[in-house]
Amino acid sequence: MDPQALENDALAAVATAASTDEIERVRVEYLGRKSELKLALREVRDRETGTALNALRERLEGAIDGREAELARAELDRQLTEDVVDVTLPGEEFQLGTLHPTTLTRRIIEDAFLGLGYEVIDDREVETVHYNFDQLAFAPTHPSRSHRDTFFVDDERLLRTETSPSQIHVMEAKQPPIYMVSLGRVYRRDEITATRFPIFHQFEGLAVDRSLTLADLKGTLLHVMRALFGEQRQVRFRTHFFPFTEPSMEPDVSCPICDMRGCRTCKFTGWIELGGSGMVDPEVLTNVGIEPEEWTGFAFGCGIERSAQLRHGISEIRPFWENDLRTLRQF
Ligand code: DAH
């Protein structure tokens, strides 16, 4: 290798490099691991040659660094004059997310119950026949037990059809007094229509204490309905049947859409059905080892989408699951 020729070549290449990319290529060619100079340095046997080659390396590095800085500055200057920024153009819109209406409604419900001293629990969605039906005293022939109505995972396990199994889990795990609310998804094999969807949310309340009465149940639901739909709401009960409560009732809330003047939503009755409720059947208490002579309980279960529909005047359940941003942005 002729060091002088190499230096001349390298300096010529540095001088003609016209961009930072090109100078980078020059650096690799003359100083890279496989460059002539690096290979020569590795072969050096005497001090004198070593010193000379190292000095050459330093000169080349200096020349390349200097040229690179020059080119980088020139490129920046060019960019600053060419890419002119029009500061009067409108900025890009910042896309902030919003909470889903189901989540918003769920939080209102949770807050209302927390205010009453209830514990909020999150329970499993895959249940067993034992918890979803047997412990809730569903008759062996009850239609909900069939594969036509319910999504089964296997013979024993299914997607819960209601949040009521949470009652059993909580009563098995603790001694009364119990005040709990469980919120979450439930599943039913329904066709999708304007008002039905095979998956939806419920909130389930359970209170077990000494001497609870229907008045306590009614007062509790009234509190939550007022938190959801405003101070003017009233609650009334219609008798009904549920396997795990006795007596069983369906609570109605005075129509929050028309304030009882009569509208399509309440079918001009002034009242809207909310869900199910009742006094916990003594048999259910006995099954979980709670003494029904000493303890009484009330329970209720209502739809969360239903509540959100009433809060916001939405006539269908489908939009809650379509997640169309044009809908969701309105909340
Ligand atoms: N689980 C019932 C349903 O989905 C609603 C219900 C009725 C819940 C009575 C309760 C209750 O806690 O006591 O239709």
Q: State the amino acid at position 261 in one-letter form.
A: R
DSSP alpha helices (H): ranges in 120-210?
129-132, 165-173
Task: State how far the Cα of 270 lies from the Cα of 300, in Å rounded to an integer.
Answer: 22
Q: Whose CA is nearest to atom 4 of ligand 1?
A: 162
pLDDT score recorded for residue 153: 97
**For residue range 40-74, what is the model confidence (pLDDT) as tens digits?**
999 999 999 999 999 999 999 999 999 999 999 99
Distance (Å, rounded) from C-alpha 310 to C-alpha 304? 10
The pair of three-digit structure tokens given for residue 194, joined into one six-digit string: 């304007």
Query: How confident is residue 95, by pLDDT bands cut at 50, 70 and 90?
Result: confident
Q: Is the pLDDT of residue 1 over 90?
A: no
- Residue 123: per-residue pLDDT: 96
Q: Where does the pLDDT of residue 94 fall: very low under 50, low under 70, confident under 90, or very high at 90 and above?
A: confident
Using CA positions, which residue lies closest to atom 8 of ligand 1? Answer: 301
Amino acid found at 133: F
Give the number of the atom of ligand 1 that is nearest the alpha carbon of residue 248. 9
Query: Does residue 16 have a pLDDT over 90?
Result: yes
- Report the pLDDT value the prediction gives residue 85, as an integer from 0 to 100: 80
Two tokens, residue 311:
């809060």
pLDDT at 80: 87
Give the range among 4-8, 152-156, 169-173, 276-280 with minimum mean pLDDT: 4-8
Mean pLDDT value of segment 266-290:
96
Which residues contact ligand 1 via a Cβ below 6 A? Answer: 162, 164, 204, 242, 245, 275-278, 299-301
Atom of ligand 1 nearest to the CA of 161: 4
pLDDT at 212: 97
Residue to mutate (ligand 1; options 163, 199, 277; most atoms within 8 A of CB): 277
pLDDT in tens, 117-141: 999 999 999 999 999 999 999 999 9
* Mutation test residue for ligand 1: of 283, 300, 305, 307, the one with most atoms within 8 Å of CB: 300
Question: What's the pLDDT at 7?
Answer: 93
Cis preceding-peptide flag for 247 (omega within 30 of 0) = yes
Look-up of token digits 């003047």: 261
Domain with CATH 3.30.930.10 in the chain: 101-328
Q: CB-based contacts of 28: which residues, under 8 Å, 6+ apart?
A: 35
211: left (phi over 0), alpha (psi -120 to 50) or beta: left
CATH superfamily of 101-328: Bira Bifunctional Protein; Domain 2 (3.30.930.10)
pTM confidence score? 0.73
